Structure 1
Amino acid sequence: MKLVDVLHMNGGMGDISYANNSLVQRKAIILTKPIIEQAMSDLYNNLLPETLCIADMGCSSGANTFLVVSELIKTVEKERRKHEFHSSDFHFLFNDLPSNDFNTIFQSLGEFEHNLRKQTGEKFAPCFFSGVPGSFYTRLFPSNSLHFIHSSYSLHWLSQVPDLIEKNKGNVYMSSTSPPSVIKAYYKQYEKDFTNFLKYRSEELMKGGKMVLTFLGRESEDPSSKDGGYIWELLSMALNEFVVEGLIEEEKVDSFNIPNYTSSPAEVKYIAEKEGSFTINRLETTRVHWNNASNNNDIINGGYNLSRYLMEEMGSPTLRHTCRKQNRIADALDKTGIKF
C-alpha cells in the first residue's frame, strides 16, 4: 500500500483529532503571520489581480486551515481600503492527501464566512473554495495559475519511507544509534521530495507570485541530533518497552520507520539554490514549546499530552496500530523526567 493512500492527520473533532491537538501548528502560523502579511501585501499591491488564487498545501482540517485563510483576506482588505482599490475575488484551493478530512473543512465554511464578515464588513469580497486532493510532490494545478502558495507544518513529511539498505534497529527515525546509511537514505529522500516540490510549484506559480513555507526543522547540522527528532526517539523507547514485554514483535519495530525529515536551514537553502526556481527572501528559525501540543496545557500531564500529539501525527490505522496503549507511551515519555 502506498503511503499517499494511508497517511493523513486524524479527522473529525474527537479526542485525538488534528483539530484538538494542533496548538503547536497554530502557534507556528501565528509566529509567521508578519511574514505572510508582508508577502501578500507586496504581491497584491504589485499585481492587483481581479481574482487572487491562493493554494494552501497540506491544509489538513480544523481551525488552523481557516486561520490562514482569514489572515490572508484581512491583509488584502486592509491594503484595498488603504489605497481605495477595487475588490478582488478570492479563490482558495485546499490541498492535502486524498484521505484527508475535507468534509470537515467544507462543512465549516458557512460559519467561517459568517464570522469573517462580522470582522471585515458586508463589503467583503466574494470567496470561492475548492478541494484539491493529491500529493504536493506532484503537479496539482495548471501552469501559471497561482498567485500565492502557503504551506505550514507539512513539508517535513516525506512522500515515502526512505529505501534503507540496513535495518534501523531499535529506532523508528534517525538517531545517534542509526547506521550512517540510514541517515544518508533519509536525506536523499528529503532532497528528492523538496526538489520536486519546488520544481512543480515554480510551474504553477505565476510571475510575481509569492510562497511562504513553514516546516518542522532542527537547528543542528547533525540529522540525528535530538533537536530534530527527539519525539520519535521517545516513541522508539516506548515501542521497545513493548518488545521487552512481548506485546510487539521486535521485527515489526525494526521495520517501522517514520516518513519524516526535519531539515536544517542550511539544507533548505542548499536544495532551494540547487533547484534554482526560487529566490529566498527570508529564512528564519524559531522555537515552539512542546507543551502546546494539546489543548490541555497542564505541564504535569506533559507526557500524556505529547502521546496524544504523536497519535494524531500518525493519522492512519496502519501507522497507529502499534500505539493503541496510549497511557503506556505516556509513562515512557514521563520516565525521561523531561517536562514538555
Structure 2
Amino acid sequence: MSPPRLFSEAEVARHCTEDSCWVLLGTRVYDVTGFLSTHPGGEALILRRAARDVGPEMEGPPHRHSLNARRWMEQYYVGELERSSRGEEAQPLRERRKPEEKTQAAEKENTAEKQEEEEQEECSPFSLCSSVDLEKDLVDWGKPLAWQVGHLRERYDAWVHQPVDRPIRLFGNPFLEASTKTSWYWVPVVWLPIILYFSWQCYTTLAQETTRLALTSDLSIPVYKYSFPLLFAMGWFLWSFIEYCIHRFVFHMKPPAHNYYLITIHFLLHGQHHKSPFDGSRLVFPPGLASVVVGVFYLVLHKTLPDVLGQAVFVGGLCGYVVYDMIHYYLHYGSPKRGSYMYNLKAYHVKHHFKHQRAGFGITSTFWDHPFNTVIPHERF
C-alpha cells in the first residue's frame, strides 16, 4: 500500500469553498465537496468549518455522530496533514480555530466515556454497525450485486446497513438494470393525471346526489359532494399507515440467513437503498412496480366500499403515495431551512439510515412511530 499523500496547512486552507471543500479530523484530510448537498445539517454547517478540524463536531454537541457516519466519512479521505509544514503562510488556518472549539475538544477527551458510549451503541437493538473495508468487501463491486448478496447469509444484515457512497449495479443485463432506475419526475408525470381524473370523476358523481351509503338493508344515508374532501383525507391517512407498515414489516424484515432468495428479494426491494442511500436513480419507485401495489389498494377499496366512495378514498391514498415518494427524494437531496418541519424530518430520516435502522419508519411524518413505539430518540442536529 502506497503511503498517504501529505498536505501542508496552507494547502488545506485553500480548500474552503463549495467547489472544493476539505476538512480535518485530527491529522487526516478529507475532501467532502461531494457530500455538501447531502449533509443532513445542510452544506452551510460544513462550509463554516472548511479547512478546520471537525473532531469536536463529530463528538458533539449538538450530537455525537454514529459509527456508520464516521465510517462514511472515511470514503472521502485524501491524505494526511504535514505537521512539519507549519509556518507563517499557515497562520490564517490556525487563526480560524475558535478558542471555544479547542475548549470543547479538550472536554471531550474523556476516553472512558467515549468507550462506554460506543459499547452502548454497539449493543443497542437499533444499531447494526460493524467495521467494513470497502476495498476488501464481502462482495465484488465490479460485478452485479443482485446475485451475490444471497451468499452473504448471516453476514448480510450487518453488511447491508453499512452505507457507502458509490453506485450500485444490480443486474448485468442492461435492460433489467435500466428498469430498476427511475428519475424522480416520473412519479408525478405518471400518477398526477390519474389522481386528477379520479378526483374529477368522484366529485361529479357525488354532485349528482344519487349516491347513498347503505347502513342496513332498510336504512341508507345520502352522500353529497361536500364529503369528497373528507373521503380524500381518509384515503391519505390510510396510506400513511400502509406506508409505515410496508417500510417496517416488508422493507425492514430480517430475511432468514439460510434463504438465498429472500435475501435477494430484500436487497432488491430496499436493501440496496440502505447500502447506497444517495443513489438518486433509486430513491423513488419505478411506476411499473408501484402499479402492482396501487392496483391491489384499488381492488381492496373497490370490494370494501361502494364504488364512488372507494374511488374517493383510493385517490386520496394515491395522492399520499406521490407525496411520500417526493418527500423521500427531498429528504435525501433537499436542503430544507434549518429548524423547519422538513429539516427535522430530514435529520430524523438520516438517523434511520446511519444509526437507528430498526426505528424511525415514518417517512412523511413520525405519527405512526409513536403508537408502535419505534420513535428515534430526539437528538438535536
Q: TM-score, normalised by structure 2?
A: 0.26
Greater radius of gyration (CA): 2
Q: Which has the higher contact order (CA 8 A, sep 6+)?
A: 1
- Larger helix proportion, structure 1 or 2? 2
Q: TM-score, normalised by structure 1?
A: 0.28
